[in-house]
């Protein structure tokens, strides 16, 4: 795998997403706080990007460079926080207060390649989730990801 990778996300209805034909990804969305992180990074770095109708219609993109290794002029460092657990249905119990049956669950350690990972941008106090598509770019869960955003 490459040591420095590049994506060209676009904003659609307030959500950043990207396409990558190398992995048959189309409209892969940055959700779970990641779109907000990208918005904050664009604002912090004074990138001239407007969420105007024209930009959305034209799918105007930005350039995001990322790596597990620090590189010149990176602007954001994401630190791995945790991999979510699975919630597996384990049965049902009667709840006398609700007067109905409710499902019970047991937790099992999640597989990062199936449930994704949570990262924190400590400098800004923000957290976000990266989905399992992350493993198209990294073989193992990265403990740190360095990011740079640019206008194109």
- Give the pLDDT of the chain (152 residues) as one tens digit per residue: 458 999 999 988 889 999 999 999 999 999 999 999 999 999 999 887 666 555 555 567 899 999 999 999 999 999 999 887 766 666 767 777 777 777 666 666 767 777 889 999 999 999 999 999 999 999 999 999 999 999 88
In the beta sheet, which residues pair with residue 8?
none
Can you give the pLDDT at residue 98? 73
Can you give the pLDDT at residue 56? 57
Can you give the pLDDT at residue 94? 74
pTM of full prediction above 0.85: no
> Which residue spans within the chain are E strands per DSSP?
5-7, 10-12, 15-20, 25-29, 62-67, 76-82, 86-95, 100-108, 117-121, 126-130, 144-151
List the helix and strand counts (H, then E) for the chain: 3, 11
Measured distance CA(127)–CA(119) in Å, rounded: 6
CB atoms within 10 A of CB 102: 11
Can you give the pLDDT at residue 37? 97
CB atoms within 10 A of CB 62: 20
Residue range(s) defining the domain that contains residue 71: 5-151
Taking a C-beta distance cutoff of 8 angstroms, is the pair 51, 11 a contact?
yes
> What six digits make up the tokens of 100?
């109905």
The number of domains in the chain is 1
How far is residue 109 from each of residues 26, 40, 144, measured CA to CA in Å? Answer: 29, 31, 21
């Amino acid at each position: 795998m490459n040591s420095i990778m590049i994506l060209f996300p676009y904003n659609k209805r307030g959500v950043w997403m990207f396409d990558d034909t190398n992995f048959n990804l189309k409209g892969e969305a940055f959700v779970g706080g990641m779109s907000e992180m990208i918005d904050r990074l664009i604002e912090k770095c004074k990138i001239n990007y407007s969420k105007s109708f024209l930009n959305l219609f034209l799918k105007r993109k930005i350039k995001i460079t990322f790596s597990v290794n620090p590189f010149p002029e990176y602007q954001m460092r994401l630190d791995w926080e945790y991999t979510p657990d699975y919630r597996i249905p384990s049965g049902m119990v009667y709840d006398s207060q609700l007067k109905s049956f409710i499902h019970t669950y047991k937790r099992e350690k999640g597989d990062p390649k199936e449930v994704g990972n949570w990262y924190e941008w400590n400098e800004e106090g923000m957290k976000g989730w990266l989905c399992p598509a992350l493993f198209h770019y990294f073989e193992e869960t990265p403990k740190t990801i360095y990011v740079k955003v640019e206008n194109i």
